[in-house]
Amino acid sequence: MSGLKIYGVPQSRAFRTYWMAEELGLDYDSEPIHFASDDRKSDSYLKINPNGRIPAIDDNGLQLFESMAINLYLARKHGGDLQPKTLEDEARATQWSFWAMTEVEKPLLTALFNLAILPEDQRDATAADKAITELQAPLAVLDKALASSEYLLGGGFTVADLNVASVLSWARMAKIDLSNFSSVDAWLGRCLSRPAAQR
């Protein structure tokens, strides 16, 4: 065992953490805490993540929450192809990770809930439309960044792609039309079809 424990079910933002651990080939333990269960509010779990949310990790005594921070840490710790090779590329990976959380996550989650997750009689079509309209600007930014290279940092697949694609994976679940953003669509397919993401 690598001494890494991942808290959270993969049907949640913990998917990001499991994907990263699989990419890195880590031998980890899993504590499948569900976002809808009381486990996340137990005294023992609140010591790991006082926010009571998933994912979180315990890596040989280092307790971390926030999915993007966890992945940036794991990539840096274990190195290899997922870790940017220069300070500048590391900064760009941080930039794209923050960007996905601040520019994309909220409207995309609103769209996902109102198009696919909520029971049909509780869905709000107006909220979904508004969220999809809001997503057009960040999707155009991502599309432009990917127009001339297969991956965000210009070389191969890195933590930058994993973090952003893990957020954008909700667009697939919500069946959002990405045909106006063909570079994003192709890149998302490349990222999500990786064996580690599938596992």
Ligand X SMILES: N[C@@H](CCC(=O)N[C@@H](CS)C(=O)NCC(=O)O)C(=O)O
Give the footprint of ligand X on this chain (CB under 6 A): 12-13, 35, 52-55, 66-67
Cα–Cα distance for residue pair 26/192, rounded to 1 Å: 19
Burial environment of residue 122 by CB neighbours within 10 A (0 to 12, 13 to 18, 19 or more): exposed
By C-beta, is 67 or 169 nearer to ligand X? 67
Sequence-distant (≥ 6) Cβ neighbours of residue 74 within 8 angstroms:
4, 17, 20, 21, 24, 26, 57, 59
Cα–Cα distance for residue pair 68/28, rounded to 1 Å: 18
Rounded to a whole number of angstroms, the minimum distance from the CB of residue 46 to ligand X is 12
By C-beta, is 58 or 185 nearer to ligand X? 58
| Closest residue to ligand X using C-beta atoms | 53
By C-beta, is 49 or 83 nearer to ligand X? 49
By C-beta, is 34 or 183 nearer to ligand X? 34
Rounded to a whole number of angstroms, the minimum distance from the CB of residue 21 to ligand X is 15
Rounded to a whole number of angstroms, the minimum distance from the CB of residue 183 to ligand X is 25
Which three-class secondary structure state does DSSP give residue 169? helix
Rounded to a whole number of angstroms, the minimum distance from the CB of residue 173 to ligand X is 12
By C-beta, is 52 or 127 nearer to ligand X? 52
Take residue 77 and report the two structure tokens written for it.
Answer: 């710790």
- 196's enclosing H/E stretch is helix 195-198
Rounded to a whole number of angstroms, the minimum distance from the CB of residue 11 to ligand X is 8
